[in-house]
Amino acid sequence: MLDQRQTFQVSSAGRALGKFLAQHLTKDEIAGRVLDLGTGSGAMALMLRAMGATSITATDISFTAVETAQRNELLNFPDSRIDFQVSDVFETTDGPLTGPFDLVVFNPPGWRSPSPELKAQLDTCAGALDLAAMFHGETVLLRFLDQLASRLAPGGRAIVGLNSLVGVSDVLERSKAAYVRVGGGKLKLRVLDRIELPLLLYTEEWASVRSGLLREFESHRRLYGAQYVIRDEMLYWYYEITELTVVDSPDLPLRQQGIDGAGDEDDR
């Protein structure tokens, strides 16, 4: 697919999520209402349309990203059918997104909110760095988890890419209140795939803050359970493609619901 620069600038995580969806989603699973949350340049939404989805809402917090995605649709298709909107998680400027959705796809920011020390370092080159796309992942995920169950149609599911650098276990522990009787049930999480990816710093500006990032990630490993390994001076993190569904058993212990990582092998 093309954009106005003749290629999509999609992250390695985005490519991994897109590949998984292309290989595993069936036509029946994309036949209903689909939400591509955080669409960026629109690559995921356009792929879903090419796969046969006919009712797609695609959102991003960035007005510029939404405009770009709209143009990219017309570069790849003869008409405009995707409902692109500016939205902060499930909230648009005109109010909540209209649901419910049968399938929600989300590749959220993968890094936690920066410390004051890292923020000061980032501010020196902020003009070239897209901070909103990478940081504040824990707060975005908490808001997403808190609202998701009420936005899914009966039998619907979300497929989310979780970055191990965000401290997934910490986010889930903090979000347990969201699993108590939301719409009469709880969210169940199941890891569908786990992919090891290198930390790629795509520009000179990002490379210039590498030492600060590594210190930050080490702090997040101690404080929040962020997971990664370093081999040959390269940091590798884990991308967990995770399914979220609503189960109608609000009184079952969290362990049996697969919330706290102590359930079945396939469950988080």
Q: What is the pLDDT of residues 221-244, one digit of tens each?
A: 999 999 999 999 999 999 999 999
Contact (Cβ atoms closer than 8 angstroms) between residue 149 and residue 178: yes
Average pLDDT for 68-83: 95
pLDDT reading at 1 higher than 50: no
Buried b (16+ CB within 10 A) or exposed e, 85-119: bbbebbeeeeeebebbbbbbbbbbbbbbebeeebe
Which of the pair, 133 or 80, is modelled with greater confidence?
Answer: 80
List the domains of the chain with CATH numbers. 12-247 (3.40.50.150)
Given this model, what pLDDT does residue 178 score? Answer: 52
Given this model, what pLDDT does residue 132 score? Answer: 72
pLDDT reading at 89 higher than 90: yes
Chain-wide mean pLDDT for the chain?
A: 85
* Number of neighbouring beta carbons within 10 Å of residue 9: 11
pLDDT reading at 179 higher than 70: no
Q: What is the pLDDT of residues 189-217, one digit of tens each?
A: 999 999 999 998 877 888 888 999 999 99
Confidence band, pLDDT 50/70/90 cuts, at residue 255: very low
Confidence band, pLDDT 50/70/90 cuts, at residue 11: confident
* Number of neighbouring beta carbons within 10 Å of residue 244: 21
pLDDT reading at 180 higher than 60: no
Contact (Cβ atoms closer than 8 angstroms) between residue 39 and residue 58: yes
The two tokens of residue 222 are: 């101690």
Percent of residues, the chain, with pLDDT higher than 90: 65
List, in sequence order, every residue forming a beta bridge with 88; answer none if it has no partner: 91
Q: What is the pLDDT of residues 24-43, one digit of tens each?
A: 999 999 999 999 999 999 99
* Number of neighbouring beta carbons within 10 Å of residue 243: 17
Euclidean distance between CA atoms 263 and 186, whole angstroms:
15
Which phi and psi angles does 130 have, rounded to 5°?
Answer: -90, 85
* Number of neighbouring beta carbons within 10 Å of residue 52: 11
pTM of this structure: 0.85
Q: In sequence order, which residues have a C-beta less than 8 Å from that of residue 150 and are 6 or more positions away?
A: 99, 100, 182, 183
pLDDT reading at 155 higher than 70: yes
